[in-house]
């Protein structure tokens, strides 16, 4: 297979090449793609100066990413299965879609989108459960040059409308409902509520999935099946510039509303394919399963784009790990003879807690490679995954990356890089990490710990934050000149291996989902009884990080006191979604503030960690007494 590294020595050699001559390195990789017109320059970039960041890859190249999935491979893959859909309920029929069938469905839906007025550059919001049509919809957008903005279907109406408004999307694609284990969720009514606030929306496309009854607005809504009825499957891909936007994906930061991270066509394509092949060491005939939702970047890059560009068979799973029982993942691996399995540490911890029997009952001998993503994996979970799931014979790729990076950045190459539990190990070729201290001074050599930055562009990196370029500079490029700031702390050990320690900003990774504490506070503050709140992460056995909210309320009666926690949780669910619901809520009379009014979150974090032995200097607090009150009423056991 083109561009696949096959030994550790070759990795080191390629890495050297990629640093010495990045243009030569990436140019050679991009040769294997299908271009209408090749690029003039491989990269043109600036992380500082007027209008920064200004990053362009494959300058003036012309292409379409779907031609690289379909036309490029069709002669050999027409009858090969591209997607296997495993439904929520294992008793329901499985769906196999070949490359040929997927191609036809994408072209037909692309034509259908054109028929309702979607043009190149228009934004299309997609709010769908994990059904094959989600992949069809995103690829159809890419086919005609429309920009997809996929919103995870667990987000609330408010969160959805915020994202639709920010991108001024013309169309939203949804379904009547979604299944989640034993529950079914009325997606359409969430979309109806959201769209009321979105004047840019001209059409809502509705896929019939659960068959539940829904409200239907004949002027605005159109059934997916009606939209494609009689529509041709002939479609010529729209020519895109290398730097035309492929998609927007919203993600949380330390301040304000979620940002629309922008990825462009050629660089993202080259990076998604290259990293997929190399990290997973994918081979022809392998059976690949990533359990993420396509609503997150992992699903974009490693369920859809990376695997399909490579010509792999990718499994799409609609359900949850514990339905109908805690054996679902292992049964599904057995059912399809999965060779490559990619999931989140939080799922591993949750299943570990259910006991070994679910795993040992199943035949997992097909497995060759295991992967993790989204948060640090603790050693216990790593060992269980390695020893029990992988029977000690499958390398684990602990893949560090971000929505902004587009693809995996630091990770072992499966079976080539010797691994160590909970270390993401080495940067991929083309990636130049650097650790700095808070003043921005480079920490050289090994055995150092600092703030993780990247000092050279890579093809998959974000180009801007949608509609607000200065915010992109401010967030990622202003802390240290000429460096991309990841927001993570990391340690480089004696061998040069990276261990990702976690976020250094007010972002938390809850069950691998990225949440801004400021966003949760804003949501909590919407409750009429709430005066002020402060949210921090605290160690949680399954979720990795749990959400701890300290909340000041107006005077509450005893009755109100009994219901306030549930009401606050409901408020957060309404404004963001259930994934951001606080695990612990402590009603307090005051928050530890400095005389200038800044909340000292460090103290709240320490208390959440259950350790008040070393709170540091509290003398600058306006009222040091509040700290004792908070410790006394803490929702976790606190050592003093
Ligand atoms: C943040 C990015 C990457 C796709 C899913 C998450 C954390 C990610 C790891 C890992 C330790 C990790 C970081 C990062 N993270 N992978 N292997 N080890 N931490 O994407 O939602 O943009 O979140 O997830 O803190 O900054 P995301």
Q: Is 503 in the pocket of ligand 1 (CB under 6 A)?
A: yes
Output the pLDDT for position 442. 98
pLDDT score of 616: 85
Number of the ligand 1 atom closest to the C-alpha atom of 398: 17
Closest atom of ligand 1 relative to the 297 alpha carbon:
4
Residue 416 burial class via C-beta count within 10 angstroms: exposed 0-12, middle 13-18, buried 19 and up: middle
Residue 317 backbone dihedrals phi, psi, to 5 degrees: -110, 125
Residue nearest to atom 8 of ligand 1 (CA): 374
Core vs surface per residue 324-335: b (16+ CB within 10 A) or e:
eebbbbbbbbbe
pLDDT per residue as tens digits for the range 584-600? 999 999 999 999 899 99
List of the chain residues with pLDDT < 50: none
Strand pairing class (62-63; 240-241): antiparallel
The residue whose CB lies within 8 Å of the most ligand 1 atoms, and thus the one to mutate among 250, 396, 400, 428, is 400
pTM of this prediction? Answer: 0.97
Six-digit token pair at 378? 């603790």
Ligand 1 site, residue 251, Cβ cutoff 6 A: yes
What strands lie across the sheet with 396-399, from one edge to the other?
Answer: 95-98, 81-86, 313-317, 287-290, 340-343, 369-373, 396-399
Tokens of 471: 């915010």
Ligand 1, atom nearest to 500 Cα: 11
Task: Convert 345-387 into a string of H (helix), E (strand) and C (coil).
Answer: HHHHHHHHCCCCHHHHCCCCCCCCEEEEECCCCCHHHHHHHHH
The pair phi, psi for residue 229, each rounded to 5°, is -50, 120
Give all domains of the chain, ordered by start, each with its CATH number: 8-320+395-476 (3.40.50.12780), 507-632 (3.30.300.30)
pLDDT at position 254 is: 87
Which spans in 150-228 are helix H? 157-167, 187-195, 224-228
Dump pLDDT digits (tens) for 168-202: 999 999 999 999 999 999 999 999 999 999 999 99
Residue 243 confidence (pLDDT): 99
Please give the structure tokens belonging to residue 8: 């550790």
375 Cβ below 6 A of ligand 1: yes
Whether 373 is in the pocket of ligand 1, judged by its Cβ within 6 Å, is yes
Ligand 1 proximity of 298 Cβ (cutoff 6 Å): yes
Q: What is the pLDDT of residue 255?
A: 86
Residues 6+ apart with CB under 8 A from 532: 525, 551, 552, 591
Q: Contact 583/548 with Cβ under 8 angstroms? A: yes
Q: How far apart are CA 395 and CA 398, in angstroms?
A: 10
Tell whether ligand 1 has an atom less than 6 A from the beta carbon of residue 376. Answer: yes
What pLDDT was estimated at residue 28? 98
pLDDT given for residue 618 in this prediction = 85
CA of 60 to the centre of ligand 1 (A): 32
Query: Between 187-195 and 157-167, two packed helices, what is the crossing angle to 10 degrees?
Result: 50
86 SS3 class: strand
Contact 477, 255 (CB under 8 A): no
In the prediction, which pLDDT does 119 show? 98
The closest alpha carbon to 539, from 488, 603, 638, 609, belongs to 609
Query: Is 11 near ligand 1, meaning CB less than 6 Å away?
Result: no
d(CA 583, CA 541): 12
């Amino acid at each position: 297979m083109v561009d696949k590294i096959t030994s550790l020595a070759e990795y080191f050699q390629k890495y050297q090449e990629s640093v010495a001559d990045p243009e030569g390195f990436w140019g050679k990789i991009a040769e294997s793609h299908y271009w209408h017109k090749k690029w003039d320059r491989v990269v043109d970039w600036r992380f500082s100066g007027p209008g920064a960041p200004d990053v362009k890859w494959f300058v003036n190249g012309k292409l379409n990413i779907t031609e690289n999935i379909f036309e490029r491979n069709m002669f050999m893959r027409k009858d090969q299965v591209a997607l296997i859909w495993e439904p929520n309920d294992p008793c329901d029929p499985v769906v196999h879609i070949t490359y040929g069938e997927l191609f036809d469905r994408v072209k037909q839906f692309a034509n259908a989108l054109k028929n309702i007025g979607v043009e190149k550059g228009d934004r299309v919001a997609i709010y769908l459960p994990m059904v094959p049509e989600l992949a069809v919809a995103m690829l159809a957008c890419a086919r005609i040059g429309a920009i997809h903005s996929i919103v995870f279907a667990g987000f609330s109406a408010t969160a959805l409308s915020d994202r639709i408004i920010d991108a001024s999307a013309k169309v939203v694609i949804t379904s009547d409902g979604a299944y989640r284990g034993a529950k079914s969720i009325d997606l359409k009514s969430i979309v109806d509520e959201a769209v009321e606030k979105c004047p840019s929306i001209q059409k809502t496309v509705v896929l019939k999935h659960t068959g539940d009854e829904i409200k239907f607005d004949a002027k605005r809504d159109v059934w997916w099946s009606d939209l494609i009825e009689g529509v041709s499957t002939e479609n010529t891909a729209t020519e895109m510039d290398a730097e035309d936007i492929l998609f927007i994906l919203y993600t949380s930061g330390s301040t304000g509303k979620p940002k629309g991270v922008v990825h462009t066509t050629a660089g993202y394509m080259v990076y998604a394919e290259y990293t997929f092949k190399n990290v997973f060491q994918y081979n022809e005939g392998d059976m690949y399963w990533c359990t993420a939702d396509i609503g997150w970047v992992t699903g974009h890059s490693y369920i859809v784009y990376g695997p399909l560009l490579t010509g792999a068979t990718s499994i799409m799973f609609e359900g949850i790990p514990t339905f109908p029982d805690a054996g679902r993942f292992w049964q599904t691996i057995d059912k399809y003879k999965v060779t490559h399995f990619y999931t989140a540490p939080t799922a591993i911890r949750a299943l570990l807690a259910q006991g070994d029997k679910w795993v040992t009952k199943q035949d997992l001998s097909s497995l060759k490679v295991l992967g993790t993503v989204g948060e640090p994996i603790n050693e216990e979970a790593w060992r269980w995954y390695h020893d029990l799931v992988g029977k000690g014979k499958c390398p684990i790729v602990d893949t560090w990356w971000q929505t902004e990076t587009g693809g995996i950045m630091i990770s072992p190459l499966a079976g080539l890089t010797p691994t160590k539990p909970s270390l993401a190990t080495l940067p991929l070729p083309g990636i130049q990490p650097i650790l700095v201290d808070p003043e921005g001074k480079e920490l050289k050599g090994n055995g150092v710990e600092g703030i993780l930055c990247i000092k050279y562009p890579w093809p998959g990196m974000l180009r801007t934050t949608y509609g607000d370029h200065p915010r992109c500079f401010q967030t990622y490029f202003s802390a240290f000149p000429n460096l991309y700031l990841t927001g993570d702390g990391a340690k480089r050990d004696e061998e040069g291996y990276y261990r990702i320690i976690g976020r250094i900003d007010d972002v938390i990774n809850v069950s691998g989902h990225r949440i801004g504490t400021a966003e949760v506070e804003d949501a909590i503050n919407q409750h009429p009884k709430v005066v002020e709140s402060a949210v921090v992460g605290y160690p949680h056995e399954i979720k990795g990080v749990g959400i701890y909210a300290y909340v000041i309320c107006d005077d509450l009666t005893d009755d109100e006191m009994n219901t306030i926690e549930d009401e606050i949780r409901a408020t957060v669910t309404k404004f963001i979604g259930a994934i951001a619901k606080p695990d612990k809520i402590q009603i307090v009379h005051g928050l530890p503030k400095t005389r200038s009014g800044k909340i000292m979150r460090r103290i709240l974090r320490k208390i959440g960690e259950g350790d008040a032995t070393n709170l540091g200097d509290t003398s600058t607090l306006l009222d040091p007494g509040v700290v004792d009150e908070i410790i006394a009423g803490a929702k976790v056991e606190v050592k003093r």
